[in-house]
Amino acid sequence: MAQQIESRVRALPRWLRECVADWSSDQQTFRVNWGKAMMWIFLISDMFVFGSFLSAYAAARLSATSPWPDPAQVFALHIGESEVPLLLIAIMTFVLISSSGTMAIAVKYGYERHRAKAALFLTLTALLGLTFVGMQAFEWTKLIREGVRPWANPMGAPQFGSSFFMITGFHGLHVTAGVIYLATIASQVLRGAYEKIGYQRVEIAGLYWHFVDLVWVFIFAFFYLF
């Protein structure tokens, strides 16, 4: 029986062989440390949460009979005399992307056992995350002052407010949690807690952080730019 399976696996095209061999014959499928596998499972479930939010937003926007407020105008900032559309959102996007860059570098320095540098870049990432949350708080305050509520707003379709607060609120919550997570990891790195067990946990924290950035890519595209 085992021989039969083995010969069948060998008959498969080479690009599929490795995958089938990994999934069959009663062995460990994911040859990564358990923490990484668990983080990926969490992230996949989280993808479905945000996927559902964005789908619900699409349905709400398509079914709205009042005109949808133009995000370019709603999120415009006054700079001197002129109105710059979506300026704050663009800055937030660049801040979050930069934090992903510093995070990737922190992971690299962790694996190279440069403790101080890894902790420095982790702290930098957390600070950029805090900046992002701060700007989001500013944006929420501005919109609430302008009368945007989850059930109504002066600009148009009432579904706009509920979609906005739900999607950006849940994302902001993820960023806030991520800042705390990264601060914890940074202090562990500085203490030298990973010298013996390895720096995989920095990479796992990085997966979470990059995921938060990934979600923002889609929120930026589909909520703000569409």
Residues within the interface to another protein (CB under 8 A): 15, 18-19, 22-23, 29-33, 36-37, 40, 43-44, 47-48, 51-52, 54-56, 58-65, 72, 85-86, 90, 93-94, 97-98, 100-101, 103-105, 107-108, 111-112, 198-200, 203, 206-207, 210-211, 213-214, 217-218, 220-222, 224-226
Nearer to another protein, 15 or 145 (CB): 15
In the complex, least distance from residue 21 CB atom to another protein, rounded to whole angstroms: 9
Distance CA 20, CA 34 (A): 20
Q: E strand or H helix at 223, and its extent?
A: none
In the complex, least distance from residue 183 CB atom to another protein, rounded to whole angstroms: 20
Locate 196 and state its tokens: 């013996």
Nearer to another protein, 111 or 170 (CB): 111
Residues 21 and 9: beta-carbon distance below 8 Å: yes
In the complex, least distance from residue 116 CB atom to another protein, rounded to whole angstroms: 16
Nearer to another protein, 106 or 155 (CB): 106
CA dihedral 32, 204, 99, 115 (to 10 degrees): -100
In the complex, least distance from residue 200 CB atom to another protein, rounded to whole angstroms: 6
DSSP secondary structure string for all residues of 141-177? HHHHHTT--SS--TTS-THHHHHHHHHHHHHHHHHHH
The residue among 159, 141, 140 whose CA lies nearest residue 150 is 159
Residue type, 124: L
Nearer to another protein, 4 or 65 (CB): 65
Residues of the chain by 3-state class (helix, strand, coil), percent to 5: 75, 5, 20
In the complex, least distance from residue 14 CB atom to another protein, rounded to whole angstroms: 11
In the complex, least distance from residue 222 CB atom to another protein, rounded to whole angstroms: 8
Radius of gyration of the chain (CA): 22
Nearer to another protein, 42 or 144 (CB): 42
Nearer to another protein, 123 or 125 (CB): 125
Distance CA 108, CA 91 (A): 26
